[in-house]
Structure 1
Amino acid sequence: MQAELIAVGTELLLGHTIDTDSAYASRELAASGIDVLRRFTVGDNPARLEETLRLALSRSDLVVLIGGLGPTKDDLTKEIAARVCGKQLVMHEESRRRIEEHFRGRVCGETQWKQAMLPEGCDVLPNDHGTAPGCVFRAENGCLVALLPGPPSECEPMIRDRLMPYLHRLSGGVIASLMVRTFGIGEGTAAERAEDFLNLANPTVAPYAKDSEMFFRVTAKASSQEEAQKECRAVADRLCERLGSYVYAVNTDGTSQSCLENTVVELLAQRGLTVSAAESCTGGLIAKRLTDVPGASAVLNMSFVTYSNEAKHRLLGVPMEILDRYGAVSEQVARAMAEGVRRFSGSSVGVGVTGIAGPDGGTPEKPVGLVYLAVSDGEHTWVRRMNAPARFQSREKIRFRAASTALDMVRRLLCGLPVEEGAV
């Protein structure tokens, strides 16, 4: 099946809002073996939307329109799509009832009922997170058309929980997927190691990079859920062998088990160990990410944000002679921070991070993007140097990448893996 996506909204076209919906839809469709050939962004202009839709319908099996389903005058996606596809808009009573329930006890303007007007004969995709339902129907030429709400908090769940199961039922068979998650391996190296997997037909393996990580989605189609999951697991296991110690998790593509900090919290809890962090340039981001995970209170002992030299000396016991001789951003200070916070807190593992996140503060010897990271278990201390050139990285990305590297160092320590391995 070949698909095209059309995101609707002038705010997207002008760059005021980033179109995350289309990216999410592309990944979900590709993971199910649907080829996304083109993506368009169209403003709130009826003539241009109609032109784009007619062109997409003429050459694709599936057209997904995102946005423009709301109650305002410029929300015209349904009207245009219905006209182009030869459909009448009719009141869908169940959707009207859901809108009524949503506004119970509040004033509900007459314009809200517009959201319940849907193409006649369509299959409705209920909106569990908002008022505008989605729907799926066929155009006169047989092309499948899906209409989805624009807000990501509504669109993504509808794609995941409504649209994809609908498409799976249409295609016959059952789809299952697993996500192999890696950190510290370069995109090129990962692609080389997984090259032969990327040509598989069933299961399929689809890679993508995000936030200095590489993900590989393994998707299988079979006659039963059990068989699909079995096929996914077999390929995922082989892929993990190929990618080695860079794999930190293999799980379904939900949010509750999907991040590096979840893996670290789980490993600490399994071993009955604790961790404390001393952060400078990351400003508490490591602690924040750990405490985002339910159950972190059992493993995170304490955390310090020690920006000044005085704080590093007074709270962590970093000797002033080391600070004066090597500077705050140095291997020696990172080492002393990790050892100091572990000693002060009594934790099993101490983490120290110091660096220059920019945009100012760099020098030729210590440029913006230079970060030193250390972990200590009381017997050994490991230090890594991270270089993230500012011309390629924002302050936010440098800090996030540093926090991820520190978390991965802890993961490697807990798993008995080489702590200093991996691209930074």
Structure 2
Amino acid sequence: MKAEIVAIGTELLLGQIVNTNAQFLSRECAAIGVDVYLQTVVGDNEHRLLETFKLAASRADVVICTGGLGPTQDDLTKDVLAGFVGRELIIHEPSMTAITDMFQSRGIHMVESNRRQALMLADSDPLHNETGLAVGIAFTYEGTHFILLPGPPKEMKPMFSKYAVPWLQTKMTDEVPLYSKMLKFAGIGESNLEHQLLDLIAAQTDPTIAPYAKEGEVTIRITTRAQSAEEGEKKLQSTEEAIRSRLSEHLYANHDVPIEAVVVQLLAAKKLTLAVAESCTGGLLGDLITSIPGSSQPFLGGIICYTNALKHQLLSVPLEVLEGEGAPGAVSSETAVLLAEHISGKTGSDFGISITGVAGPSSSEGKPVGLVYIGFAQKNKPTQVIALQLSGNRESIKHRAAKSALYQLWKQLKDQ
């Protein structure tokens, strides 16, 4: 069964909001065996909406629409579809009762336009809205199944999962669900990772292999069709093992999770603590760590020592190391070592990590943009320094440096 997702709203075309609905719907459709072939975004324009519905109906078995079910005059989805399929709009009485009761309970006068949220096409099935007012609609027209959902994700998601999916499944015949596994890698670029898997990718049939890159991480999605989750897991296992045997040094998880979450989990499990001293990343490493629930147990804190003065005052890096003719400078392995050791010493942490470098856009201390030193201090072990030459703009360099630090820490933790 082929599906097209039609997101409706001029605000989407203007970039005022992000179309997260399409991502959710694509994922949920795949889980029940419906293949999303196309995603379309169209503004609140009657003529363009009609042309979009006609085209979608001609090429898809299922057309899932989000948006345009509200009370205002630019909410045109139901009106345009009613004209397209030749059905009248009628009031869904349970929704109308819920709308009037809501306004009465709040002591607010209900304007007539709010009745539009209770409209549905004749001979269609209502989809209950648990978190909002606009009723959803499902119907079949000349062999194409239409599902109309509200635009706000908090309304759309439960409506689709609880009501639209069961309705759609009654229309399905022999669709086989998709099962996917996300393999997460760090410390390796997308092109290098793909190069090591070229023969597997070239020979893929079922399961399929697809790489995706983010800043500082790479994801491999392996996907198969199966009648059950257990069968799907068995089919994915051999492909996962083949990939793992080649890239185990970089594979930090076999589910969709950022590396900072795995690092926090490992630190907590081993009852180890971490503190950080950041210069060029400006607190980004600490931010990534503290974005993970439960990070307060292993993460003691950090210092953003952006200037040489603070490196000296707060973390006791000698000025003769930081400045002057012949000095190593702030961007150096010597400074990275001292920052890592001193943040660990001051906080009593098991690990101290430092990051110092040139994020750009111009060079500093005569050193090139993208040069970064990451220091790793650990109790009773020699301090290590990793030198990186990163590419990209200022934001990319900062992000890649922070992710590189997490990768190096992950390597040390998994081997302990």
Q: TM above 0.5, one fold? A: yes
Instruction: State the partner residue of 2:229.
Output: 225
Whether the aligned pair in 2 keeps the contact of 1:31 and 1:217 (CA below 8 Å) is no
Instruction: State the partner residue of 2:220.
Output: 216
- How many pairs are equivalent? 407
Gaps of 5+ in 2: none
Following superposition, the deviation at residue 30 of structure 1 comes to: 5.9
Quick one: distance in 2 between partners of 1:286 and 1:210? 16
Instruction: State the partner residue of 2:53.
Output: 53
Instruction: State the partner residue of 2:374.
Output: 373
Q: Which amino acid aligns with 1:227?
A: E
Instruction: State the partner residue of 1:402.
Output: 401
Following superposition, the deviation at residue 83 of structure 1 comes to: 2.7
Q: Which amino acid aligns with 2:90?
A: V
- Are residues 405 and 69 of structure 1, via their aligned partners in 2, closer, same or farther at CA, if it must alter by over 3 Å? farther
Quick one: distance in 2 between partners of 1:260 and 1:159? 31
Instruction: State the partner residue of 2:261.
Output: 262
Instruction: State the partner residue of 1:420.
Output: none
Q: Secondary structure at the match of 2:287?
A: helix
Q: Secondary structure at the match of 2:185?
A: strand
Query: How big is the alpha-carbon RMSD for the aligned residues of Structure 1 and Structure 2?
Result: 3.4
Q: Secondary structure at the match of 2:248?
A: helix
TM-score under structure 2 normalisation? 0.83
Q: Which amino acid aligns with 1:185?
A: I
Quick one: distance in 2 between partners of 1:288 and 1:242? 32
Gaps of 5+ in 1: 418-424
Instruction: State the partner residue of 1:67.
Output: 67
Quick one: distance in 2 between partners of 1:261 and 1:318? 28
Q: Alignment identity in percent?
A: 40
Q: Which moved more, 1:58-67 or 1:115-124?
A: 115-124
Instruction: State the partner residue of 1:241.
Output: 245
Following superposition, the deviation at residue 203 of structure 1 comes to: 4.1
**Match runs of 1:241-390 below 5 Å:** 241-251=245-255, 258-324=257-323, 325-359=327-361, 361-363=362-364, 365-378=366-379, 379-390=381-392
Instruction: State the partner residue of 1:177.
Output: 180
Quick one: distance in 1 between partners of 2:121 and 2:188? 48
**Match runs of 1:66-215 below 5 Å:** 66-93=66-93, 95-96=95-96, 104-105=105-106, 107=108, 109-110=110-111, 111-127=113-129, 130-140=132-142, 142-152=143-153, 154-155=155-156, 170=172, 171-172=174-175, 175-195=178-198, 196=200, 200=204, 202-215=206-219
Quick one: distance in 2 between partners of 1:340 and 1:349? 11
Q: Which amino acid aligns with 2:307?
A: S
CA distances 1:381-420 after superposition (whole Å, capped 9, x unpaired): 3333444445xx3x44433332222222211110129xxx
Following superposition, the deviation at residue 50 of structure 1 comes to: 0.8
TM-score under structure 1 normalisation? 0.82
CA distances 1:173-220 after superposition (whole Å, capped 9, x unpaired): 555433222223222233344443586555444432233322233344
CA distances 1:316-350 after superposition (whole Å, capped 9, x unpaired): 22222221123323333222211221122111111
Quick one: distance in 1 between partners of 2:99 and 2:203? 46
Q: Which amino acid aligns with 1:323?
A: L
Whether the aligned pair in 2 keeps the contact of 1:6 and 1:65 (CA below 8 Å) is yes
Quick one: distance in 2 between partners of 1:202 and 1:89? 46
Following superposition, the deviation at residue 372 of structure 1 comes to: 2.6
Quick one: distance in 2 between partners of 1:276 and 1:117? 58
Q: Which amino acid aligns with 1:10?
A: T
Q: Secondary structure at the match of 2:373?
A: strand
- Are residues 151 and 342 of structure 1, via their aligned partners in 2, closer, same or farther at CA, if it must alter by over 3 Å? same
Quick one: distance in 1 between partners of 2:321 and 2:192? 37
Q: Which moved more, 1:82-91 or 1:169-178?
A: 169-178
Quick one: distance in 1 between partners of 2:175 and 2:332? 59
- Are residues 247 and 14 of structure 1, via their aligned partners in 2, closer, same or farther at CA, if it must alter by over 3 Å? same
Quick one: distance in 2 between partners of 1:162 and 1:353? 50
Q: Which moved more, 1:182-191 or 1:94-103?
A: 94-103
- Are residues 406 and 53 of structure 1, via their aligned partners in 2, closer, same or farther at CA, if it must alter by over 3 Å? same
Q: Secondary structure at the match of 1:408?
A: helix
- Are residues 165 and 213 of structure 1, via their aligned partners in 2, closer, same or farther at CA, if it must alter by over 3 Å? farther
